[in-house]
């Protein structure tokens, strides 16, 4: 079976040489030399400062909310993302409040934000879905007007610059997942980029159980450390980023060329780079989506409905308003695999299935 994501394994000998080094040093975790090297190299590669590697993307989101040090507050977020975008808010005992998405970009629509702001609101937490940059300027302006923090979930956007600067450099904090299925990964892992220098210094202590010096615990902390094996994987991946990027770009361009007249493609933010992380296609209705999904499955391709369920329906959020756009897109979207070799077959199956269906509908 061919799945939507395929884990990239970097050069084996290179990885082995890092593992040999770990055996020699005996240093497996606790802010080791490889984590420090990876943080420095990522800062240089992405052109950002104050980047901290953490143990996962979910952890990075929860970590961001912990750093806010607020209680009994609300966070305005998107209903259309991976579940962690919202579960992290709830897990930190904050209340997620949903602003519905735009039907073309699939990102939180800034027009829906302001009416949700009240005395309890402490932050806005959008996600750059499928690596498509949010309306950052508009969101930041709303946050500034109401004195709110902005926490961006940039988990899909490792390859994206917005207005000439890497997307992780926006907001008060931005987080990213380095899960094995992502374009850049550390097996499990993630990172946070923190705008404020003092908060960044504090975050380093929070990440290490609140321990700021030998025999000194200065604040409430957690264990959010990335380990040395994960960092070794990250260092290997970073060396091959241009290869990964080129391969994905080629596949993305192929799909765009073949499919744009048959299905709805995500409308990208013109001020940002095209991300090559995912390839979502949206059909006219759920029935069409389902037929294509079945036809692909029969050929051994497991295309998937991202992001279903729409997050306003989660059992632990109390959302009284229906997020219509999010539910609608979630019901008729498929993310298709983008690895070399599968593209022509997937594109042909989609086109054939739709052509057969639509001809049949016209005839009947």
Ligand X SMILES: Cc1ncc(COP(=O)(O)O)c(C=O)c1O
Is the Cα dihedral 316, 317, 321, 325 positive or negative?
Answer: negative
Closest to ligand X by CB, 155 or 224: 155
Closest to ligand X by CB, 106 or 255: 106
What would the DSSP string read from start to end of 253-297? Answer: HHHHHHHTTTSEEPPPPTTBPPP-S--EEE-SSHHHHHHHHHHHH
Adjacent-strand bridge partners of 208: 223
- Residue among 31, 84, 105, 325 that touches ligand X (CB under 6 A): 84
Q: Are 98 and 311 in contact (CB under 8 A)?
A: yes
Point out the residue whose Cβ comes nearest to ligand X. 57
Q: Are 63 and 312 in contact (CB under 8 A)?
A: no
Closest to ligand X by CB, 77 or 349: 77
- Residue among 42, 46, 50, 58 that touches ligand X (CB under 6 A): 58
Residue 87 binds ligand X, judged by CB under 6 A: no
What would the DSSP string read from start to end of 118-171? Answer: -TTEEEEE-B-GGGPPP-HHHHHHHHHHTT-EEEEE-TT-TT-EETTEEGGGSS
Closest to ligand X by CB, 5 or 291: 5
Closest to ligand X by CB, 169 or 190: 190
Q: Which stretch binds ligand X (CB under 6 A): 38-46, 110-118, 151-159, 288-296?
A: 151-159
Is the Cα dihedral 129, 146, 148, 119 positive or negative?
Answer: negative
Output the smallest distance, CB 154 to ligand X, in A: 8
Q: Which stretch binds ligand X (CB under 6 A): 44-52, 150-158, 289-297, 313-321?
A: 150-158
Q: Which three-class secondary structure string do you get for 242-257?
A: HHHHHHHHHHHHHHHH
| Given 16, 41, 163, 182, the catalytic residue | 182
Residue 62 binds ligand X, judged by CB under 6 A: no
- Residue among 82, 106, 152, 255 that touches ligand X (CB under 6 A): 82
Specify the pairing of strand 301-302 against strand 2-3.
parallel
What would the DSSP string read from start to end of 17-44? Answer: HHHHHHHHHT--SSS-HHHHHHHHHHHH
CA–CA separation, 209 vs 297, rounded Å?
A: 46
Active site residue 182: yes
Residue 105 binds ligand X, judged by CB under 6 A: no
Number of residues lying near ligand X (CB under 6 A): 14
* Footprint on residues 176-235 left by ligand X (CB under 6 A): 177, 179, 190
What the block records as the tokens of 354 is 């739709």
Closest to ligand X by CB, 81 or 269: 81
Output the smallest distance, CB 362 to ligand X, in A: 39
Residue 326 binds ligand X, judged by CB under 6 A: no
CA–CA separation, 266 vs 247, rounded Å?
A: 20
A 10 A CB-CB count for 115 gives 8
Residue 305 binds ligand X, judged by CB under 6 A: no
- Residue among 62, 77, 78, 85 that touches ligand X (CB under 6 A): 85
Output the smallest distance, CB 245 to ligand X, in A: 19
Residue 56 binds ligand X, judged by CB under 6 A: yes
CA–CA separation, 170 vs 91, rounded Å?
A: 24
- Residue among 31, 50, 78, 81 that touches ligand X (CB under 6 A): 81
Closest to ligand X by CB, 42 or 127: 127
Binding footprint of ligand X on the chain (CB under 6 A):
56-58, 81-82, 84-85, 127, 153, 155-156, 177, 179, 190
Residues designated as active site: 182
């Amino acid at each position: 079976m061919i799945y939507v994501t395929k884990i990239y394994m970097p050069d084996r000998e290179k990885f082995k040489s890092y593992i040999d080094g770990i055996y020699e040093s005996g240093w497996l975790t606790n802010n080791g030399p490889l984590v420090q090297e990876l943080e420095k190299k990522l800062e240089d590669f992405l052109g950002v400062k104050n980047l901290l590697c953490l143990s996962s993307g979910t952890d990075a989101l929860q970590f961001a909310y912990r750093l806010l040090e607020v209680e009994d507050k609300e966070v305005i977020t998107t209903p259309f993302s991976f579940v962690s975008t919202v579960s992290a808010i709830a897990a930190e005992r904050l209340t997620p409040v949903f602003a519905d998405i735009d039907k073309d970009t699939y990102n939180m629509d800034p027009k829906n934000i302001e009416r949700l702001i009240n005395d309890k609101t402490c932050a806005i937490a959008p996600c750059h879905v499928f690596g498509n940059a949010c309306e950052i300027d508009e969101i930041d302006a709303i946050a500034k007007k109401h004195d709110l923090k902005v926490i961006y979930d940039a988990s899909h956007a490792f390859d994206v610059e917005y207005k000439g600067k890497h997307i992780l450099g926006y907001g008060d904090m931005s987080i990213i997942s380095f899960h094995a299925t992502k374009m850049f990964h550390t097996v499990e892992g993630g990172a946070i980029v923190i705008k404020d220098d003092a908060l960044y210094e504090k975050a380093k202590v929070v990440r290490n159980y609140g321990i700021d010096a030998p025999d000194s615990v200065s604040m409430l902390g957690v264990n959010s450390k990335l380990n040395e094996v994960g960092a070794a994987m990250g260092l290997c991946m970073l060396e091959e980023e241009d290869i990964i990027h080129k391969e994905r770009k080629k596949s993305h361009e192929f799909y765009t060329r073949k499919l744009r007249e048959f299905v709805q493609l995500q409308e990208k933010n013109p001020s940002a780079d095209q991300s090559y992380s995912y390839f979502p296609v949206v059909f006219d209705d759920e029935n069409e989506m389902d037929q294509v999904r079945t036809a692909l499955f029969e050929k051994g391709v497991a295309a998937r409905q991202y992001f279903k369920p729409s997050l306003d329906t989660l059992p632990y959020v109390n959302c009284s308003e229906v997020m219509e756009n999010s539910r609608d897109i979630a019901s008729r979207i498929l993310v298709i695999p983008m690895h070399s070799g599968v593209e022509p077959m997937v594109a042909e199956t989609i086109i054939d299935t739709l052509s057969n269906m639509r001809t049949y509908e016209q005839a009947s």
